Amino acid sequence: MNPLATELNAVLAETVAGRLLSCFGQRMYFPKGIVVQSAEAGRRAKRFNATAGMACENGQPMILPAVRELTPGFSPAESVAYAPAGGDPEIRGLWKQEILAKNPSLKDRDFSLPIVVPGLTCGVAAAADMFVNPGDTLIMPDLYWDNYELIFADAKQAKCVFFSFFGADGRFNCAAFKEALQKNSAAGKLVILLNFPNNPTGYSPTRAEAQEIARIVKDCAEGGADILVISDDAYYGLFYDEETETQSLFAYFASLHERVLAIKVDGNTKEDFVWGFRVAFLSFGGRGLAASHYEALLTKTNAVLRASISNCSRIAQSIMIRAMKRQGYHAEKAAKLDILKKRYLAVRKILAARKTGKALRELPFNSGYFMSFRCHGLSSDKLRERLLEKGIGAISLQDRLLRVAYQSIDEPGLEEMFAEIFATADELLIDLSETRPGSSQL
């Protein structure tokens, strides 16, 4: 093992973070090579800097006139230069301020400076690299984003344990969550993955549910298990009901127990409606962790990124730095959220008034982009295909759920779209009944 990795492991040795590290995570270190030496030269080489692999002209990164014309107001250093490893320090600081503003429970609690990752997928995958070994147990709801299986089960060969997302009361199933933790804690290490607002259901826990989730995790930690909790906050902030917990569960987990390490993966990606910018963040929190521990974790995460994507888009970060510093930034976001809330309320009204499509039973939803129907007596994939014939796109999951990204549709089109979905489900049921054994066929 490289001596630099050994040094970092020694810093983390007496912490839950050190115990949770995967074999890959233990081997990670940031080499004192090109990137480190280039950063040092950037501070000290005032005469000639011949370190980074960038062509320069008149002391600035070389840029094509066509690109310069398309990036007015941005210097070449802001638009085409390499971004620092781990992201521009300014955007990292701005994002930490945003996290604190949105999560008042984190005030006076230590957590790491966010590190920039190219999209939330990469953030989740980096967490998997750092902490998941083949055979480790990953606990998550049975309603989940399908990329999780690719990342954890297929790429990392983790053992995925699913619990029922909703209870009979239509709320988050705290009892099933508790049972899953209790049944799988004997190994001494658990990885929990929670995504709120949830994809595909569009559900976020109430404050009472969030408190109960945290209590269950704390009880498991007090029983002797080391626990990593990953909060995938891709759709964070898109809340529409008063009783919904508006703080991230990271705010609960970040100082919950000495045996709990919390990771928050979030970003400008969806919160600021810049999906293709791929600017996201990964933050660490844990009770008893000091600045030196966070620095070691960030260094290892930087190494994971260096070994794969190297660094993130410079111009995307530059744009978001300026946007976040604009006087109207928060007001502009609030205006967009108001549009999304009106769509949500419109869908609620449509569902309350419907008289068709009774084979489709909507799952609870209160946030995010999506709502989902559980299909009874018909295949969600066949329904998806029939809808495509009518020019309507929706997603089939597990051949039992139809996910509708209603926030992709302007409000005037929602009633027509849902009416077509209901009518198509009814048509499909009739077709199926006519082809079943024993049915009359004309």
CA–CA distances in Å: residue 91 to residues 23, 78, 267, 311: 31, 13, 11, 14
Domains of the chain: 10-27+85-325 (3.40.640.10), 31-81 (no CATH), 329-435 (3.90.1150.10)
Cβ atoms 269, 279 nearer than 8 A: yes
Closest CA relative to residue 124, chosen from 309, 265, 290, 248: 265
Closest CA to 264 of 174, 182, 194: 194
Asked if 368 and 238 touch (Cβ cutoff 8 Å), the reply is yes
Q: How far apart are CA 53 and CA 311, in angstroms?
A: 14
Q: What is the pLDDT of residue 310?
A: 85
pLDDT of residue 282: 98
Per-residue model confidence (pLDDT) at position 44: 75
Euclidean distance between CA atoms 218 and 190, whole angstroms: 12
**139-192: per-residue pLDDT in tens?**
999 999 999 999 999 999 999 999 999 999 999 999 999 999 999 999 899 999
Q: What is the pTM of this model?
A: 0.93
Please list, residue by residue across 427-442, b when 16 or more beta carbons sit within 10 angstroms of its beta carbon and e when fewer do. Answer: ebbeeeeeeeeeeeee
Residue 245 token pair = 């917990």
Q: Return the structure tokens found at 99.
A: 């996290």
How many Å apart are CA 243 and CA 250, to the nearest integer? 18
Helix residue ranges, H only, 290-379: 291-306, 314-325, 329-353
Task: Identify the pLDDT of residue 31.
Answer: 85
- Tell me which amino acid residue 334 is: A
Given a cut of 50, the residues of the chain with pLDDT beneath it are: 439-442
Structure tokens at 121: 């997928």
